[in-house]
Amino acid sequence: MKHLFIIVGLIFCLSASAQKNKVAKEKKTTSTQQVTKGRNIPITITPYKNCWIYLGSYFGKNKVLADSTWLNENSQGVFKGDEKLTGGIYFVVSPTKKLIEFEFLMDEEQHFSITADTSKRDNAIIKGSLDNDLFSAYSKVTAVKGKQMQDIKTRLASATNKEDSLSLKNEYIALEKDLDDYRANIIKKYPNSLLTLLFNVMNRPQAPEIPIIDGKPDSAYPFRFIKEHYWDNVNFYDNRILRTPFFDNKLDDYFKLYISPEADSIIPEVKYMLLSARTGKEIFPYLLIKFTNKYVKPEYMGQDKVFLYLFNEFYAKGDTIYLDPASRKMIFERAYSLMANQIGEPAPPLVLTDTAGNTKSLYDIDANYTLIVFWDPHCGHCKHEIPRIDSMYHAKWKAIGMKIVGVYIYNDNVPDWKKFITEKNLVEWTHIYQTKEARDEEIKNNVAGYKQLYDARVTPTLFLLDNKKQIIAKQLTIEQFDNILTEKNKKK
């Protein structure tokens, strides 16, 4: 994972460079006016003088610097460049780069002025930008309403009777409605404004009441409604949605709350978002790398299938310009390691040497279930887990027709391996390892070894197979494997 996070950092740095914005802003202009080029934002910010100040923006969950300017002895400077910056929520950063002075909107034209005083951060004056006029007015409204709502919460906490509580709750609901109406009016009047885009990104659908269908309540309808309307009016190709603090959290909540954790449910969502974002110079690589980081080492078993989808549909088809050589190598190697051991697929062949020097094949073992354990007698975790696996085998798994194959992943200390087997009395396991000669032959013929085919990068690594040697589960705890086996035998 190390290299992938390096990639994300690289994208963040690159994203600070200017990008041309394709989405026009609603403004009262005449047909003879020309679209301004580049950015030119004079700023006066007291009491800073004879120092650098910085221009920053949100970028997903992160904050990045986009520009800087030198303030003269009159506290004046200019954020200037030949290219426009991607629109969104920006902020002025102090000379120490540790303090955000105030926020404002980076509009389409990017030719406006800023006058501010650090002692009055909420009163920055921005002239020449309709988007910022709307933003300023909205901020003042929310400040007033927010204070009133907080006051109601305080009073509600100390309310002594139901009548007072009900009255305060109604007041609170009325204030919420006022804010909703205010936002709705801006969306209607300025549909292409940057503030409207922010409202659309922030919006989370409210669950409707459960409808009655043919005399029965449809309890799943509110869930379906929220999922279907979750991304209303949000365009995934619009780079500006990244320049907000709302989008990334909303995205995470969508997959957490409304998408089933099975890979087959996740893949269509990922596909839709990436294909929709294809023309976005910033958001496409951001989403591609975000999903790669999330599913290359997934939270749930089987989600690595999502990573393989990303690899086959994007990286393998040329979307590697965002990767440094080390990250590209890691992604390709990881994909090749996962391709051969997906849930529901036949386990890769495993033909190795046993403790007596004889060749043993996984597919010659007749069992209702087969547990493959890749381990090392010198691994501290293995020393604890291997005896536990054997105890579970004798207590429960042997009775349902399981057999265990233990694979020593090295060949440099066979005596210690055999000693551990004897000391722990692992006599009912099939114990195998790969000789140095066999491994050298694979390397000579450029053949993938079992460690790659089984993604056995750490010890212990466990795979559970059915009677046809298809993979049922992998890389779980002993208790999780036992739960799966218990459920399967209940069904039988």
What confidence tens digit (pLDDT) does each residue in 211-227 have?
999 999 999 999 999 99
The helix/strand/coil state of 452 is helix
The full 3-state SS of 118-157, as one line of letters, equals HHHHHHCEEECCHHHHHHHHHHHHHHHHHHHHHHHHHHHH
* Cα separation, 400 vs 463, whole angstroms: 17
Residue 492 has a pLDDT of 67
Neighbours of 458 (CB within 10 A): 12
Whether the pLDDT of residue 401 is over 50: the answer is: yes
The helix/strand/coil state of 405 is strand
Q: Strands, DSSP E only, in 32-175?
A: 39-46, 51-59, 62-71, 76-81, 88-93, 100-106, 113-117, 125-127
- 206 or 26: whose pLDDT is higher? 206
Residues 140-167: b if buried by 16+ CB within 10 A, e if exposed: eeeeeeeeebeebeeeeeeeeeeeeeee
User: What Cα–Cα distance (Å) separates residue 438 from each residue in 349, 352, 354, 445, 452?
Assistant: 14, 9, 13, 11, 15
Whether the pLDDT of residue 5 is over 50: the answer is: no
Calculate what percentage of the chain has a pLDDT beyond 90: 85
User: What Cα–Cα distance (Å) separates residue 482 from each residue in 373, 463, 476?
Assistant: 15, 12, 10
Residue with tokens 């036992």: 482
Q: Considering only 12-21, 76-85, 258-267, 403-412, which range has the smallest mean pLDDT?
A: 12-21
**In the sheet where 39-46 sits, what is the strand order?**
76-81, 39-46, 113-117, 125-127
pLDDT tens per residue, range 438-466: 999 999 999 989 999 999 989 999 999 99
**What confidence category does residue 159 fall into, taking pLDDT thresholds of 50, 70 and 90?**
confident
**What confidence category does residue 35 fall into, taking pLDDT thresholds of 50, 70 and 90?**
low
What's the predicted TM-score (pTM) here?
A: 0.83
The helix/strand/coil state of 428 is coil
pLDDT tens per residue, range 37-52: 899 999 999 999 999 9
Nearest-CA neighbor of 456 among 438, 429, 437, 474? Answer: 474
Whether the pLDDT of residue 18 is over 90: the answer is: no
Calculate the CA dihedral of residues 352, 358, 364, 367 and round it to 10 degrees.
-90
Q: What is the mean pLDDT of the chain?
A: 91
The helix/strand/coil state of 89 is strand
Whether the pLDDT of residue 21 is over 70: the answer is: no
Residue with tokens 């950092």: 9
Residues 6+ apart with CB under 8 A from 341: 347, 348, 453, 454, 455, 463, 471, 474
Tell me phi and psi for residue 183, to 5 degrees: -65, -40
How much helix, strand and coil, in percent to the nearest 5, is found in the chain? Answer: 45, 20, 35
Tell me phi and psi for residue 410, to 5 degrees: -120, 180
CB 338 within 8 A of CB 464: no
Nearest-CA neighbor of 126 among 101, 105, 95? Answer: 105
> HSE (CB half, 13 Å, CA atoms) of 69?
21
For Cα atoms 259, 265, 269, give the angle at the middle one, nearest 5 degrees.
75
The helix/strand/coil state of 471 is strand
